[in-house]
A = this chain, B = another copy of it.
Amino acid sequence: MKLTILGCYSATPRAFTNPTSQVLDIRGNLFLIDCGEGTQVQLRRFKVKFSRIKNIFISHLHGDHFYGLIGLISTFRLLGREAPLHIYGPKGIQEAIELLLKLGNSYGGYELIFHELTNKSSELIYEDDKVTVHTIPLEHRVYTNGFLFKEKLGERKLDINAVLNYDIEQCYYRNIKLGKDVPNKAGKVIANNLLSLDPEPPKSYAFCSDTAYTEKIVPIITNASVLYHESTFLEEHEHLCQKTKHSTAKQAATIAKQARVGKLILGHYSTRYDNIECFKKEAQTVFSDVYLADDGKEFNFS
């Protein structure tokens, strides 16, 4: 898994910071998460092969997470896209996008498939042979979901030295990867664990923005390899969290600790702070493995 931060600042786009959008690359399959204004430019700037995006997940319909979507959809059409595009987001997203396309008489070219979300409990919304995506219901001023991306356990790895030593024909390699015992050339059945190695442990990524501090998400994201949790404010402005339904860096770290995640990435910083290092410092008083999102930054989950 590789995560590229296209934008991670709250509220309004500025000359040198961008609103929320991320690309998650899971074994070559690109998932776009949120799409603030200017996302299509950030995709170009960071040379993301964005024709490979097949699924877009929108957490909520505030502008800084959503107003870049119509432009991206429109650009896909202008670039001659033919592959269907799946969009997952709160109820209303389809009406909005279709109205804008209708007004510009800009339909067609490729199929848009909307998956509107209304459930207030976590649910499976996407599955292929490598990945599942579940919603993470969040607490914000409007209906909002985070998203939990989980790799499936991969195939077993061929232990090529063992396979040669045991004199196994090549036509059995596929079955070995699938965990089956196979015969050698002499017809003797060899146990799979002698011929293969455990697959890489599957990774998972939990995206949680925007949200007030809520422990309800802990069971859903427990043991995630990486958690992105919004930290709009520092503790000194915790009083603003109640009204705006955002979190402090310390609250994000508290969730990370309770959920025993591998790493915590902070983002969605209020633009009132000049130096985002203070978010990391505050979070590390609670949880040690903290990273700061920033526009253009890449994270490889190893």
Residues of chain A whose beta carbon lies under 8 Å from any beta carbon of chain B = 11-15, 37-38, 40-41, 44-45, 60-63, 66-68, 70-71, 74-75, 78-79, 90, 92-93, 95-96, 99-100, 103-106, 141-142
Contact = CB atoms under 8 A, between A and B. Distances in A.
A99 to B, nearest CB: 6
Contacts of A45: 15
A62 B105 CA distance: 8
A93 B102 CA distance: 11
B142 A104 contact: yes
A106 B63 contact: yes
How many copies make up the complex? 2
Contact of A95 (B11, B66, B74, B99): B99
Q: Which 8 A-B pairs have the closest CB atoms?
A: A61-B103, A63-B74, A37-B71, A12-B75, A92-B103, A15-B45, A67-B71, A62-B104
A106 B44 contact: no
A13 B95 CA distance: 24
Nearest to A65: B104
Contact of A96 (B41, B63, B103, B142): B103
A62 B15 CA distance: 24
Given A38-B37, A40-B37, A13 B71 contact: yes
